[in-house]
Amino acid sequence: MSKKPLAWRIAGLVIVPLLIVSIYLLARAQRPLARPAVASEGISRPGHVVSEVGTDAWCIHQDTDGTYWLGCTASGLYRIDGQEITNYTEADGLAGNNVRGITGDGSGGLLITTSKGLSRFDGQRFSLLEPVDYGDDWSSLKPGPKQIWLILDPARNNPCLFDGDKLISLHLPPTPGLEEFRRRNPNVGYDPAGVYTIHTDRSGNVWFGTASLGACRWDGHEFSWLYEDELVNPPGGGNFGLRSIFEDRDGRFWICNTRQRFVFSADSRGEAGFQQLVYDREPGLPDAATDNADNFSYFASVAQDPDGSLWLACGTDGVWQYAAGQVQKYLIGDGVFAMTVYRDNAARTWVGTGEHGLYWLDGETLRPFSPDSL
């Protein structure tokens, strides 16, 4: 198996400039939320029709009406409805043109995370949701099914929660290993506790993966931590960060690489003033037990089908499908980086590459997207 640790390092560098954005967010943290974005006022139908999507494809979302939405890192947001493609940018009221996440808002609209803040889109206009800073005060919060967790700035320790009314910015509590990390890396240019990924499990617990300090589980009462060096640091060097946490249909957790999956206890144990997660490991993919094994790779995104099949975005190793004990690999092209994978309502597979466009799986071949793809 061909691993590309340098490519993972390059991908990690994409988020570092977002540190600047945190200054903007923190300065505005106590202001009220959800005022309409000025650029969207008076615009009845924002956006403009284009013939193709941007090459800087990052994230994909299909809404409840079956419409596709694509977030790009420089060219904004795209709506793909049959043969028609509409592009939305800052000129239309979108908070920023660097879109890193798209999800439903629970009321038929969209929440779009950008490097300049969070936009809410009702189909006609954008509004800017400005975060209220709760700091490290989690006491008034409990995990709930209507909560939507978001990452505005992965270079900072500030996971955000949208409760249907307001956007709350939070900070993870002190992290095991933080002081030791700072002692060994005094000049690091990012927050090692920056939140790279958030996952809500089937029991309602919320998981946070950090840049360099592992993962934690919040159950509404306490934070319990996990750190294993191989989850964060690839064997070839560099810092991958804890980019992906996913609970599969069997209740097992896949974290960052294919070597193992984790079985977590609901309990935790105290150690050096912190709560540590209690867990066992099970084998992950077959033939992934060593660094040079054919099926060992790091992944940044996971999707699962109703039948339990897993889809993994494995960087320059392409997209992998794991079903019925077998691994099927779909390569994109030399140097093309599979960053996000998405399965739609029609069981199509979509792949965001960051700089080489949007791809979809046609049989056993990943092809560049065009309006004729649908």
The CATH number linked to 48 is 2.40.10
Residue after which a domain boundary falls, among 63, 95, 129: 129
Mention every residue, 6+ apart, whose C-beta is less than 8 A from residue 221.
Answer: none
| Within a domain: 172 | yes
| Domain boundaries, position 110 | 34-129
| Within a domain: 265 | yes
Whether residues 121 and 178 fall in one domain: no
Q: Average pLDDT in the 306-326 region?
A: 96
The model's pTM is 0.86
| Within a domain: 339 | no
Q: Average pLDDT in the 300-329 region?
A: 96
* pLDDT score, position 30: 35
Does the pLDDT at position 40 exceed 80? no
Whether residues 279 and 228 fall in one domain: yes
What is the pLDDT of the chain when averaged over all its residues? 88
Q: Average pLDDT in the 83-97 region?
A: 97
Does the pLDDT at position 20 exceed 90? no
Residue 198 is encoded by which pair of tokens? 């958030």
Does the pLDDT at position 100 exceed 90? yes
- The string of pLDDT tens digits covering residues 123-133 is 999 999 999 99
CA distance 340 to 319: 9
* Range from 67-71, 81-85, 144-148, 295-299 carrying the lowest mean pLDDT: 144-148
* pLDDT score, position 44: 58
| Within a domain: 355 | no
Total count of domains within the chain: 2
CA angle 202, 323, 2 (to 5 degrees): 105
CA distance 260 to 296: 10
* pLDDT score, position 207: 98
Give the pLDDT band of residue 7 (cuts 50, 70, 90).
very low
Q: Catalogue the E-assigned strands of 57-182.
A: 57-62, 68-72, 77-81, 84-88, 99-104, 110-114, 117-121, 126-129, 132-135, 148-150, 160-162, 167-170
CA distance 65 to 331: 31
* pLDDT score, position 17: 39
| Within a domain: 343 | no
* pLDDT score, position 156: 84
Tell me the HSE value of 131 on the side-chain side, using a 13 A CA sphere. Answer: 29
Whether residues 192 and 251 fall in one domain: yes
Beta bridge mates, 133: 169
Whether residues 84 and 222 fall in one domain: no
Does the pLDDT at position 19 exceed 80? no
Residue after which a domain boundary falls, among 298, 323, 343: 298
